[in-house]
Amino acid sequence: MLKVAVIGGGSTYTPELINGFLARLDKFPVNELWLMDIDKERLDIVGGFAQRMVAAKGSPFKVILTTDQRAAVKDADYVTTQLRVGHMEARKRDEYLGLRHGLIGQETTGVGGMGKALRTIPVILKIAKDMQELAKPGAMLVNFTNPAGLVTQALSQYASETPAVGVCNVPITAKMKIIEGLEQATGQKIDAERAELKTLGLNHLSWHRGFTIDGEDVWPQVIQAYIEKLKTEEHPEWDSRTIEVLRMMPNYYLQYFYHTDKKLKEQEKWPPSRAEEVIEVEKELLRDYSDPNLNEPPAGLMKRGGAYYSTVATQLLNAHYNDLGETHVVNIKNNGAVKEWPAEWVLEMPSLVKKSGITPIAADPLPASCFGLIAAIKAYELLTVEAAVHGDRDAAYQALLVHPIGPKADKVQKVLDDMLETHREHLPQFFK
């Protein structure tokens, strides 16, 4: 029997995940899909809709709803995590924490990302511990919970006995946009499975630097077309000179580092913040999901973001289960793949997915202009892991101190105190 558990099954993303499993039943024959969430009301709405979706396709597998994490994990082959400690209200608090102090408050970057990590890491580590005790031997944890790279770093250090990998939809979104551009330029259809994106860095701090089709390098054409496109746009995402020099496409989250002032100005226009926008989108989605006649995801799901989420999730599980040896961009322990960088760092990079495990593919390091930023953020991540696991306020202080878009030294304590107090109910490790 093939069992998959989804922790955070009450997420509005779950119906997209259901579609992904339904589309791959011939290759990934799941028998039981357990949706676990601590919010029973929300789980009943989302889970009920998921059950109707599966019933409409002839009930090829069971969808089981539970608020019991251990029951969900028991005998599971795969456990995916898509949870949000404190719900969307906590994200809103992260955003306005940043705004209060004149800092970036985005949910995965800067003080907002740190607040989310401190709340999330202990919860994810508990899931990994439950898996060791209750799941099938070798069961894999696939983490989608943000900040995905930082959470995976914690898993690598404090739950290394549980096979785990972090996943994000940014690489596949970049891949599909590149394919779209090539198709427009050549007039030829390109199968996504024939193409591979070469990217390296940390989650939400990576640079796309290569692209192949059937093994042939087409990056020179891709990057040159991208530069020309930037030069013609009235409000380009990046200044073309930066891209000309780097010859790489920055992950769009690098806007928070390369154009911090611009992002801070955008924050000043709040409300609504992104969390407040999503709260309204989710209210609409949950109303739709409650409709007993609905058995297909509504169009409003696209407003939620997370394009290609189901593709990333189910393709990875399918590749692992069927020993396909496919290349997927994931967050994984470096372990010597980039030999110039520390082996214990979790990186976002192309990796080989086989039944025996997921292995990062050897890669050259990024240039010094990128490595400097990566090294600072990795120092922040490592310190944040220690702070989250041990309730270590000094480690938390140092994490804020080293962060490139964190507070100035004389403001660190004020921001930290505010962060911990803002999320006190979800940070018991700091208030013993």
- Cα–Cα distance, 280 to 298 (Å, whole number): 15
- Cα–Cα distance, 345 to 25 (Å, whole number): 35
Res. 126: pLDDT tops 90: yes
16-56 per-position pLDDT tens digit: 999 999 999 999 999 999 999 999 999 999 999 999 999 99
Query: Facing residues of 166 across strands?
Result: 143, 331
Query: Facing residues of 153 across strands?
Result: none
346: phi then psi, degrees, rounded to nearest 5: -85, 125
Question: pLDDT value at position 306?
Answer: 65
The pair of structure tokens assigned to 194 is 């024939």
Question: pLDDT value at position 304?
Answer: 80
Instruction: Give the pLDDT mean for 151-159.
Output: 98
Q: Which pTM was predicted?
A: 0.97
294-332 per-position pLDDT tens digit: 999 998 887 787 678 888 999 999 999 999 999 999 999
Instruction: Give the pLDDT mean for 405-429.
Output: 98
Annotated catalytic residues are: 253
- Cα–Cα distance, 415 to 340 (Å, whole number): 35
34: phi then psi, degrees, rounded to nearest 5: -95, 125
Question: pLDDT value at position 310?
Answer: 84
Question: pLDDT value at position 308?
Answer: 85
Residue that the structure tokens 């878009």 belong to: 405
Contact call for residues 105 and 97 (beta carbons, < 8 A): yes
Contact call for residues 132 and 103 (beta carbons, < 8 A): no
235-257 per-position pLDDT tens digit: 999 999 999 999 999 999 999 99
Spatial CA neighbour of 348 closest among 335, 329, 367: 329
346-368 per-position pLDDT tens digit: 999 999 999 999 999 999 999 99
Percent of the chain with pLDDT over 70: 99
95-124 per-position pLDDT tens digit: 999 999 999 999 999 999 999 999 999 999
Length of the chain: 432
Question: pLDDT value at position 104?
Answer: 97
Instruction: Give the pLDDT mean for 63-76.
Output: 98
Helix (H, G, I), strand (E, B) or coil at 252: helix
110-134 vs 87-100: helix axis angle to the nearest 10? Answer: 150
Instruction: Give the pLDDT mean for 87-93.
Output: 97
Q: Is 408 exposed, middle or buried (0-12, 13-18, 19+ CB in 10 A)?
A: exposed
